[in-house]
A and B are shown apart, each in its own frame.
Chain A
Amino acid sequence: MFDAHRPPARELLSDCVHCGFCLPTCPTYRLWGEEMDSPRGRILLMDLAEKGEIPLEGAFTEHIDNCLGCMACVTACPSGVQYDRLLEAVRPQIERNVPRPRGEQLFRGAIFALFPYKRRLRLAALPGALYQRLRRAPSVAKLVSTITATLPARLAAVESLLPPVAVREAFARLPRVTPAVGGNRRGRVALLTGCVQDVFFHRVNAATVRVLAAEGFDVVVPRDQQCCGALELHSGREAPALVRAKRTIETFEVLGVDAIVTNVAGCGSSMKEYGHLLADDPEWAERAARFSRSVRDVHEVLADALAEGPRAPRHPVRARVAYHDACHLGHAQKVRAQPRAVLASIPGVELVDLPEAELCCGSAGIYNLLHPEAAAELGERKAANVRSTQPDVVVTANPGCLLQIGKHLRGERPLLHPVQLLDASIRGVPVPQH
């Protein structure tokens, strides 16, 4: 039985009319062809659990755990079922009420002791950097492949995701304030730099700041910002996620900016949810709602600026560019047109969509660490779809997707965040390779 703390609402459960339109967009249904690993099946299970007809332990937990939380079903649903809200209510119920096996507990604990902490990630990245350098030596590479072959699948997944990281980049910092280029300022925004993003993709943050400034925004980067709680929130670890949400609100609300900007799809979707998450907390409800209203994905800000008239001249980039919609941007935030508009503002860019674009790449927060086999199948499928469009460059707006697709594309093509491409165009420099 669910406990009394925010169980999934009956009205939300009964919104589902069982039409099945969600099935073809659900990654696990596509992989396994089983009804209980489809959105419709999971909603039926939630409904039974809510009525107390089935236990939470066992099959129920297994099939909810199997969900990537990609929200493709929310996009596909003609009846307007809010699966996002349902999952957000059910996952914490499982975390609170279903004891996990010891190994599972330890592994999850380790993930959440590492990823939300920039400092720890940097430390982890350091031996990573050393190791990557060593790995170039054939004898070490051979040794490593023997060791990883014997590692449990999940640890091997962590190992193979580790991106090449330069020590200098892992420790680089952005200026506290970057003024708008030219006198005529459009606005003042604050940037959430993210955790994985800032350590492994600092160059994306740097490009974001340059692009925003070039388009007429003062960019504030608060030094005391911490993790927004997205990974915990999407995994049902509600209590620590809420602590992080409150801390993030405190850090940003005092800045007096027009918008809080993020270039990470996962962070954006969780920060836009704060208002809903804290709606029952009288002390925080209003602050959280105000905060969430001011959160914008960087593409939303840039697309609005484009509509007003672009400021920064673009240099042509002659390239066929495949854009992958990150699930937390496309499905969760419904931000699809804006990144395309931003990319289309670069002269010479030929934008192509991917086949099976609605299908998750398998990254899904920490899913590729918890369910490496399923994630690898989805990653291979995504890579094959990317190859089929024969792009010169692949772009996507989430570090998880960049890592996952990067792993499966095996360095065949440059893989970037869209702002990196825009940044190269504005500065008139060659397109970066990563």
Chain B
Amino acid sequence: MPLDGAARRAFEAVLDPQDVLSDPVRCRVYECDGLTGHRVVPELVLLPRTAEQVAAAVRVCAEHEVPFVARGAGTGLSGGALPVADGVVIGLNRLNRILEVDPVDRRAVVEPGVTNLDVTRAVAQYGLYYAPDPSSQQVCTIGGNVAENSGGAHCLKYGFTTNHVLAVEVVLPDGSTVTLGSDTGEQQGPDLRGLFLGSEGTLGIVTKVTVRLLRTPETVRTLLADFPSVAAAGEVVSDVVAAGIVPAAVEMMDALAIEAAEEAVHAGYTIGTPAALVVELDGPAEECGSTFEQVRRICEAHGCTRLHIAGSAEERAAIWRGRKAAFAAVGRISPDYFVQDGVVPRTRLAETLDRIAAMSRSAGLRVANVFHAGDGNLHPLVLYDGAAGETARAEELTSAIAELCVEMGGSLSGEHGIGTDKACSMPKMFSRDDLAVMARVRDAWDPQGICNPGKVLPTPRLCGEPGKYRPHPLEEAGVIERL
């Protein structure tokens, strides 16, 4: 149902009218996030400047039953911020203030539109930093990180967003404001903060976030090692973990990903090597030094063909720039691509990669692999050319890869979320009962169904009827037929 005039006027009454975008050309630039395969133009885009305005706008939505979608920097890769037709987008980019830094208790209170990296920049002077580091950390916002429970390379050692957010102020779908969690991280009753973290914008809009800060490690050592095969690199990862070492990060890239990243940033990756590992250790200097030697020996034992140790902060930054730009850099070697995000048990990494390679060959599409090897979080990138009509085949392959991860005993998503992209694959991982429970929880928060509707849980509109069609025995016998 298109937005009625009363709702429009109500939005203009609670926001500055110039912060309500209705021009169809302007609204079109909000039609997608980082997942460009899905596009829907919203009716209006609201750009509030304060938490109170967010709450007021959501109250208007509730009153007029207008579906709304919250959006940060629009870097999400699962279509979590895809607008809803006839609905509004609430952009939180202007809520970008750092409200409080408490270096003694190591906390900061920030608005949702602050970028991940800006939190670290604001507290670096106290020798502190904010640990979760999605590859898009210079762009993506804390609000989006909360919604997606974002991870990143260093989550292997330090945990995901949920481990670093103590409390969130949330505007619920009825427009009321609550605080979940507390400054100390303790909470009475059920862990609603934990439930909200990673709910992908379906339970409300976060307007204030209290994050935990860590002390900047005394020493950081980073190495880049080339291997003759992905399997050899995979074995290194297993051996490192088996040796009881907890690296800050272990990242793997294959030949295609290396080629793209090196072209983008010239960080010193070896073009043509079948696989490379980035291993980072941090902590007290002595501990770091001895474990670093251990890692080095493990690399050499597995036929490492070149081992490069970052000699300076600049070199380390360059290695990370390459790794973190890898997704987008693939744009240099392919007109289009899908980024997949799945998890497999670390012990089945090599096997999974072999299966992906086989699927890639039979689909006739290239797949580049960049991933957080330490925790088995894969990011296969399916390369295709939309103009050559390869889109459907690429979509099939990317879904098949996600489902392969489930088959391997892993998960549909490690950190990018389910969003629009993988809602239809949810029944592969969860039973009808699981999904029904999730839907009931969601209904309890959002009885009107206006808060980021159509995401995460499969809907008939998005996916067709749930469950695989099974013909009736009479139909099989040819007695009746399906119309």
Residues of A within 8 A of B (CB): 14-21, 23-24, 33-36, 41, 44-45, 48, 54-55, 58-60, 77-81
Contact = CB atoms under 8 A, between A and B. Distances in A.
Instruction: Determine chain A's interface SS by DSSP, over half rule.
Output: loop
B328 A19 contact: yes
A64 B331 CA distance: 24
Given A23-B139, A34-B91, 17 more contacts: A14-B387, A17-B328, A18-B34, A19-B75, A19-B139, A19-B327, A20-B139, A33-B91, A35-B74, A36-B29, A44-B29, A45-B28, A48-B28, A60-B25, A78-B328, A79-B328, A80-B331
A7 B73 CA distance: 29
A251 to B, nearest CB: 37
A24 B136 contact: no
Contact of A80 (B23, B140, B264, B326): B264
Which among A20, A44, A80 has the greatest number of chain B C-beta atoms within 10 A? A20
Nearest to B115: A24
Across the A-B interface, the 6 shortest Cβ-Cβ residue pairs: A79-B331, A33-B93, A78-B325, A78-B328, A59-B25, A19-B328
B138 interface: yes
Interface in B119-172: 136, 138-140
Contacts of A60: 25
Contacts of A21: 136, 138-139, 325, 328
B187 interface: no
A44 B28 contact: yes
A20 B75 contact: yes
A31 to B, nearest CB: 10
Given A20-B73, A44-B29, A79-B332, A34 B93 contact: yes
B51 interface: no
Nearest to A58: B25
A18 B330 CA distance: 12
Contacts of A33: 47, 91, 93-94, 96, 113
A282 to B, nearest CB: 31
Contacts of A45: 25, 28-29
A189 B408 CA distance: 67
Nearest to A79: B331
A79 B332 CA distance: 5
B32 interface: yes
Contacts of A48: 25, 28
B36 interface: yes
B440 interface: no
14 contacts: A16-B331, A18-B33, A19-B139, A19-B327, A20-B75, A21-B328, A33-B91, A36-B29, A44-B29, A59-B25, A60-B25, A78-B326, A78-B329, A79-B329
Contacts of B263: 80
A44 B96 CA distance: 24
Contacts of B73: 20, 23
A78 B96 CA distance: 25
Interface of B: 21, 23, 25-26, 28-34, 36, 47, 73-75, 91, 93-94, 96, 113, 115, 136, 138-140, 263-265, 325-332, 335-337, 387
Contacts, number: 94
A96 to B, nearest CB: 20
A418 B74 CA distance: 40
Given A24-B115, A48-B28, A17 B264 contact: no
A131 B475 CA distance: 96
B136 A20 contact: yes
A80 B332 contact: yes
B343 to A, nearest CB: 22
B25 A17 contact: no
Nearest to A14: B335
Nearest to B23: A59
A59 B25 CA distance: 7
Nearest to B36: A18
Contacts of A80: 263-264, 329, 331-332
Given A17-B36, A17-B328, A35 B136 contact: no
Contacts of B264: 78-80
A58 B139 CA distance: 29
Contacts of A55: 25
A34 B325 CA distance: 23
Nearest to A15: B331
A200 to B, nearest CB: 36
A23 B96 CA distance: 14
A20 B331 contact: no
Contacts of A34: 21, 47, 91, 93
A24 B34 contact: no
A54 B25 contact: yes
Contact of A20 (B28, B30, B74, B387): B74
A60 B25 CA distance: 8
Contact of A35 (B30, B139, B140): B30
A77 B321 CA distance: 12
B137 to A, nearest CB: 10
A54 B28 contact: yes
Contacts of B31: 44
A41 B28 CA distance: 9
A20 B144 CA distance: 13
A95 B366 CA distance: 43
Contacts of A77: 328
Which among A17, A23, A44 has the greatest number of chain B C-beta atoms within 10 A? A17
A33 B96 CA distance: 9
A55 B24 CA distance: 11
Contacts of A44: 28-29, 31
Contacts of B140: 20
A54 to B, nearest CB: 5
Given A33-B93, A78-B325, A19 B34 contact: yes
A78 B327 CA distance: 8
Which among B30, B34, B331 has the greatest number of chain A C-beta atoms within 10 A? B331
Contacts of B139: 19-21, 23-24
Contacts of B32: 18
Contacts of A19: 34, 75, 136, 139, 327-328, 331
Contact of A41 (B29, B33, B329, B330): B29
B135 to A, nearest CB: 10
B447 to A, nearest CB: 31
Contacts of A35: 29-30, 74, 91
A19 B336 CA distance: 12
Contacts of B327: 19, 78
Which among A15, A21, A36 has the greatest number of chain B C-beta atoms within 10 A? A21
A131 B326 CA distance: 56
Contacts of B74: 20, 35
A80 B140 CA distance: 20
Which among A34, A60, A78 has the greatest number of chain B C-beta atoms within 10 A? A78
A268 B75 CA distance: 35
A21 B73 CA distance: 10
A14 B96 CA distance: 31
Contacts of B93: 33-34
A77 B34 CA distance: 14
